[in-house]
Amino acid sequence: MIRKKTAVLAAAAALALAPLTQAGAIVNGTAATPGQFPFMASVQDGSGFAFCGGSVIATTWVLTAAHCVPDADASDLYVVTGKTDLGAAGGQRIKVSKVYVNPAYANSAHDTALLQLSTATTSPAIVLSSSTDNDLEAAGAPVTVAGWGDRTPTLGLLSTNKLQYADLAVVSDKECGQTNFGFDGPTGVCAAALLKDSCQGDSGGPLFATKAGRKVQVGVVSYGQSCALPKFPGVYSEVNNTQIRNWIRTVSGV
């Protein structure tokens, strides 16, 4: 089922027996230490409600999921950076000036969007995966996902202000497609670990690996079959897919 942005939407989707859940916080994750993942961004509305994650990719650009901002409306949209605990003081709350949804987004494929910030963030950017980083998405490769979403495989009832992360391993496209029906291998990468997963509220956040001492973003949290179900890996939009990577570069210059 698509990992919806609110508990209400998630519950409605479940009642409708929707097959997908659009990704809340990390299930069975570990609390991040302050500054551990400085590129993390929280996507919020004007009231301060955090409904999706994102990643800083440049001083005025945040990468997130298209299903977080499908209407491309920036009028009530903000990004919070420089915080591990969303309930604590500090960090930056920045108005989003413009939203760009990947024009190829359809049926969870190409699930990416770019948020242009009205003022620059001081948080450092994460490196984006390129065509030379295919090894980072090989089956079994170690990756990490982080977010403020649901901490248990429920319907978005236990989100948290404190950033959580989980270490996962990449799952092959073939294996992922056996359970995630409709999975689009060219535009998606899958990852899983026993009883660990992204979940409601984590949508749009980064799936990343470590290469040569640097964090490299491999994917964007997209969807999954519930959360942390064995044999049902989470699905992430593949950053170095040719269309996705070229679109990011064309729009943001990154």
Q: Is 251 helix (H, G, I), strand (E, B) or coil?
A: helix
Task: Count the Cβ atoms, other than its own, within 10 Å of residue 250.
Answer: 10
Whether 203 is a known active-site residue: answer yes
**Given the residues 42, 55, 198, 203, the one annotated as active site:** 203
Burial (CB < 10 A; 0-12, 13-18, 19+), residue 75, is exposed
Instruction: Give the pairing type, strands 206-211 and 214-224.
Output: antiparallel
Query: 113, 115, 68, 114: which is closest to 96 by C-alpha?
Result: 115
Whether 237 is a known active-site residue: answer no
**Given the residues 55, 67, 173, 202, the one annotated as active site:** 67
Look-up of token digits 């009642």: 15
Burial (CB < 10 A; 0-12, 13-18, 19+), residue 198, is buried
**Given the residues 42, 108, 111, 252, the one annotated as active site:** 111
Whether 111 is a known active-site residue: answer yes
Catalytic residues: 67, 111, 203
